[in-house]
Amino acid sequence: MVKFLPLKKAVAENLHDGDTVAFEGFTHLIPTAAAHEAIRQGFRDLTLIRMTPDLIYDQMIGMGMASKIVFSYLGNPGVGLLRRARDAIENGFPRAIEVEEHSHAGMANAYEAGAAGLPCAVFRGYRGAGLGAVNPNIKSVTCPFTGEVLAAVPAIRPDVTFIHAQKADRKGNVVVEGIIGIQKEAVLAAKRAVVTVEEVVDAFDDLHPNLTVLPSWTIAAISVVPGGSHPSYTHGYYERDNAAYLEWDEIAADRDRFQEWIRKNVLESSADDFAARVEHLRKAA
Amino acid sequence: MSNAPDLGFTPNEMMTIAASRALRNDDVCFVGIGAPSAACNVARLTHAPDITLIYESGTIGTAPDVLPLSIGDGELCETAVTTVAVPEMFRYWLQGGRISIGFLGAAQLDRFGNINTTVIGDYAHPKTRLPGGGGAPEIATSSKQVYITMVQSKRGMVEKIDFFTSFGHGEGGDHRKRLGIDTAGPTLLITDLAVWKPDLVTKEFTVVSLHPGVSREQVQATCGWTVRFAEALDATPAPTELELKTLRDLQARTKAAHQGTAKGKAA
């Protein structure tokens, strides 16, 4: 049964040291508040999975929480590089991390295989690409019908997946709309899923019948955190804070400035602070 | 280049506009972020109003009023014909063979259109860890053709790339075919100085057209390999007034939109 919990409790109950965890969101609906709560609780030795790690994994890697990262695009979208992740990979600071790198197609197929209960994903990919030589989890299979050689990657099955979504109803069903990314697959592939939402409504009576809805029984815990995806955005609620992404490039470039930013904006803050951060990004009604 | 004559447009503007001209109204284009995104939207706002622009966030047939900072900005979804999940994007639309043009940028490029956006230096101990491939490895092999656009430099256009993020023509010739890749691969390279096309046999990128005011020497001076020029070298037509105005208006709207969110920013 899904539980409505304060974020602090939802994270404490579902994430543990050494877990394989996905905080998913494809530019849109990034679960920043959940990631910041994980930073406050100081988990260690996590394997972080995400197609587009961006700021929150830069922050978690910079705080030394990850022993391994699985990804397909290690950048600050539209801005450039992730400087804390680079420091870890290039200099082992604050600790060395293992890297497992895929393409988007590889990760998307692997999540889908996880959701589908398959051991691996099969697709036409990685042809001529260098990743096949440096990632032992990229292999191939031969189609038994046509003889075509196809790429194979193991299914992704996180211990826990965190996502952010627009809203839940009182029963704990969750609706995700806009750029839906890989969130449905990431939730269904995981042993446990935690969802932060902008709001809870009485019922979903007036929704389009084909909208992406995650039934309550696919979710372990829901936390209401308005603004919880900032500086990412929530379609229909507030816009992407592009200026914050540009600013992050400077903050993350310096180890001390990074620590100072984390202290002020994460360690000495709480999930309740997110609502104010998106106030200027809400569209005028 | 303080001695360069004032042509009324910059090399970057020429690059974007020349790239936009390569796109057709009936193209279905998988758009990379940065220079490709600008070119694709200029095409849509000028000669190719019905072009289908697809970003890897799953937005199909999008028509943004400003250039997105990321591949997943909200406006891409709001203006799209439909928005699909990421696995569907890569399985049905890209792998399914629906994309006519994959439009990519590059950090490092070689003469055969192979692209590196992964690492500078050794993969295990990189000098610089770049973002990596994202969608590019499969865009490069599943799109019917690949267009590449980048600013020329000796650091960017190199004899040998450090990592094969996206496969172009490999070692040239029929290398794609030998790997079982049946799409055309890179068929066009547009830089700030010239338009390049692969040689029909060797597949080496060859300069076919110089932008206004650009000399062969300039092209060679900003390229890390020995440049081949076509026997009959064309001159790229200068940007028209409409093209320049469209691009500049788009960039002005984009700049205003991306800086706007800084106002009243919380701590």
CATH for A190:
3.40.1080.10
| Residue A280 located in a structural domain | no
Residues 6+ apart with CB under 8 A from A32: A55, A56, A164, A228, A229, A230, A231, A232, A274
Structural contact between residues A74 and A117, judged by C-beta atoms closer than 8 angstroms? no
**Residue B56 is among the residues annotated as catalytic for this protein:** yes
Give yes or no: residues A117 and A96 share one domain.
no
Last residue of a domain, one of A154, A189, A220: A154
| Residue A111 located in a structural domain | yes
Residues 6+ apart with CB under 8 A from B249: none
Q: Which pTM does this prediction carry?
A: 0.95
Give the dihedral sign, CA A266/A272/A273/A274.
positive
Give yes or no: residues A82 and A126 share one domain.
no
Chain B residue closest to A28 (CA)?
B72
CATH for B240:
3.40.1080.10
Q: Output the six-digit token pair for A180.
A: 């839906």
Give yes or no: residues A30 and A79 share one domain.
yes
Give yes or no: residues A202 and A244 share one domain.
yes
Bond preceding residue B131 cis, omega within 30 of 0: no
Of residues B13, B56, B204, B243, which has the active-site annotation?
Answer: B56
User: Which residues of chain A lie closer than 8 angstroms to B142, CB-CB?
Assistant: 124
Q: Dihedral of the CA atoms A136, A138, A142, A146 (nearest 10)?
A: -160
Domain that holds residue A141: 104-154
Mutation target for A interface from B89, B129, B169, B175: give the one with most A CBs within 10 A: B129
| Residue B261 located in a structural domain | no
What's the pLDDT score for residue B1? 47
For residue A258, how far is the Cα from the chain centroid? 21
| Residue B228 located in a structural domain | yes
Mutation target for A interface from B62, B86, B108, B162: give the one with most A CBs within 10 A: B86
Residue the block writes with tokens 């530019």: A27
Q: Which helix (DSSP H) or strand (DSSP E) does residue A76 occupy?
A: strand A75-76
| Residue A142 located in a structural domain | yes
Cβ distance of A240 and B73 shorter than 8 Å: yes
Question: Residue A281: which of B140, B179, B261 has the nearest Cβ?
Answer: B261
Cβ distance of B164 and A128 shorter than 8 Å: yes
| Residue B142 located in a structural domain | yes
Give yes or no: residues A234 and A141 share one domain.
no
Give yes or no: residues A98 and A129 share one domain.
no
| Residue B1 located in a structural domain | no
CA distance to partner chain A, nearest, from residue B246 (Å): 22
Longest dimension (CA), chain A: 59
Domain that holds residue B19: 11-256
For residue A28, how far is the Cα from the chain centroid? 10
Cβ distance of B33 and A242 shorter than 8 Å: no
Mean pLDDT within B223-247: 97
Give yes or no: residues A175 and A130 share one domain.
no
| Residue A72 located in a structural domain | yes
Residues 6+ apart with CB under 8 A from B244: B8, B9, B13, B17
| Residue B209 located in a structural domain | yes
Helices B35-45 + B241-260 axis angle, to 10:
120
* ipTM rounded to 2 decimals: 0.95
Give yes or no: residues A69 and A134 share one domain.
no
Give yes or no: residues A80 and A193 share one domain.
yes
| Residue A283 located in a structural domain | no
CA distance to partner chain A, nearest, from residue B198 (Å): 18
B51, HSE (Cβ side, Cα atoms, 13 Å): 29
| Residue A281 located in a structural domain | no
Give yes or no: residues A141 and A263 share one domain.
no
Tens-digit pLDDT profile for residues B194-232: 999 999 999 999 999 999 999 999 999 999 999 999 999
What's the pLDDT score for residue A159? 98
| Residue B267 located in a structural domain | no
Give yes or no: residues A223 and A95 share one domain.
yes
| Residue B216 located in a structural domain | yes
| Residue B6 located in a structural domain | no
Tens-digit pLDDT profile for residues A57-76: 999 999 999 999 999 999 99
Which of the 8 DSSP states describes residue B93? I
* Total number of domains in chain B: 1
pLDDT of B267 above 60: no
d(CA B213, CA B19): 18
* Total number of domains in chain A: 2
Q: What are phi and psi of A215, to 5 degrees?
A: -60, 150
A86 near B CB under 8 A:
yes
| Residue A282 located in a structural domain | no
Last residue of a domain, one of A154, A177, A195: A154
CA distance to partner chain B, nearest, from residue A82 (Å): 8
| Residue A284 located in a structural domain | no
Tens-digit pLDDT profile for residues A181-235: 999 999 999 999 999 999 999 999 888 888 889 999 999 999 999 999 999 999 9
Tens-digit pLDDT profile for residues B55-93: 999 999 999 999 988 888 888 999 999 999 999 999 999
